[in-house]
Structure 1
Amino acid sequence: MSFYELDPKRPGEPLACELERFADYRVLRRLPQPDELWCRSMPVPTNVMKLAVIDVETTGLDPARHKIIELAIGTISIDMAQGDLVDVSPPRSWLEDPAEDLSIEIERLTRITSGAC
């Protein structure tokens, strides 16, 4: 099972397929970007529950003092009858400028740098 599909019309893909016909060659392809990933392990049933998965990154741990620097939201679908995860959407993400430099600890933890916001 693959969690992504390669577009057969991508530039260079016909050449890669042609080269792979020969036993002496293997063609490596780049991994997809996060927004290109999807997951559908089975046909989506009619009785599904869709859930939002929310991730919030902040400048620290105190909600009274620290500011939001990133909000990410993705959705998942669960088969209500079986409890199976049947679909995962790519996440959407937004950055917010906190108007202050991020601490080294927060940059390490979130992998967001002061210049990225």
Structure 2
Amino acid sequence: MDKEAALRALAALGQDTRLEVFRLLVRTGTGGLPAGDIAARLDIVQNTMSAHLKVLDHAGLVSAEREGRSIRYAPDMTGFRDLLAYLMEDCCNGAPELCQPIIQAVTCKC
């Protein structure tokens, strides 16, 4: 991940609704949820939700798959891992073993 991609991802997560959407999708897992279900669970108008999901998709944090008339969104765990790797790239002044507990804590088993 380069600096520009990291900035897009951080900016996307720096907004309250988008952070809640991303956290919901991470809890849901790789199966994701249809956009309408996300909007209903978070009590957000669908067209507003669509705009937020588009920002998260553009930032590489969610993936979208069309299912008939709806779109199912799922967390893009590769994009999320890339962001975490970018943030921790020069971790601990060249002693990555010091960061191992953090890396183990965020390692996804999905």
Q: TM-score, length-normalised on structure 2?
A: 0.24
* Structure number with higher helix proportion: 2
Larger radius of gyration: 1
TM-score of the two chains, using structure 1 as the length reference: 0.23
- Higher share of residues assigned strand: 1
